[in-house]
Amino acid sequence: RSFNDLSSLVNRLGYFGFLSTFTKITDGLRCTTASRTSYLRLLRALAGMGGRHDSTTYQALNHRGIIANPNCTTILMCVALYPLHRVSPIQRIVAATYQSASGAGARAMKELWEQSRDVLDGKPAQPEIFPYPIAFNLFPHNSPIQDNHYCQEEMKMVEESRKIMSAPDLRLTATCVRVPVLRAHAEALNVEFAQPFAVEDACALLAQAPGVTLIEDWQANRFPMPIDVSGQDAVAVGRIRQDISHPNALDLWLCGDQIRKGAALNAIQIAEYLVANGGFSKALT
């Protein structure tokens, strides 16, 4: 069918060369496309977050063409931080991510299972999908290293977060790590705000934020874990505390299932938001 005959399109396309051509076909037409491909994320003017979580979704109502769904680590972080950013603009983020095998696909998950079995049986781990053994090991994220010595995954977080929060001058640095967890990512964040942000106020906001679950039990030392969010839609946030080195900064910890909220679910939520708010009909005028 012609793209001009469609009001929306959900696609999963796996090859960069084809995607660059596909973009030229759909760009400027009346079809609004929510795309999960990384090829588009750093090239498009808009990065959608889905639903109620960020400012660019509202811009998307008047957008024609392709809305690029962000990277999984960016989505999980921004779902947690955007409610706070609306109250006191974020000035700087220092992020460390702990990314599970599922972020590299089903074959990578299988490799973690098989390597774990082999190591427990006294056999050497044989990496195929990952560059190094993943069982009982961790290593800096395996995406390509850029000229500035950050890896591609880290730079995605920098560029996409600026778009999502409509903060082109946001200072963000990230260190992404691959860990031997089957499913769901974790992130440790240090966040500097424009003004001091009380921990109690941050907890109250996050407890009411859509798509967020607050797990905060200091007495039991119980905070979010990957097993809490595996197969779940919400991002779990906890261990929120005042940064003892900066009066305007908070430290927090989060976990989220990057297969769900960090991937396909978010693209569907973008489409649902457009449908509910007349975005597709506006794109057709």
Q: Which residues are catalytic?
A: 72, 185
Torsion of the alpha carbons at 172, 64, 1 and 17, rounded to the nearest 10: -30
Helix (H) or strand (E) holding 280: helix 279-283
> Per 3-state DSSP, what percentage of the chain is helix, strand, and coil (rounded to 5)?
35, 25, 40
Cβ pair 190, 94 in contact under 8 A: yes
Q: How far is CA 90 from CA 27, 132, 203, in A?
A: 32, 36, 16
Whether 32 and 280 have beta carbons less than 8 Å apart is answered as yes
What is the CB neighbour count within 10 angstroms for residue 262? 25
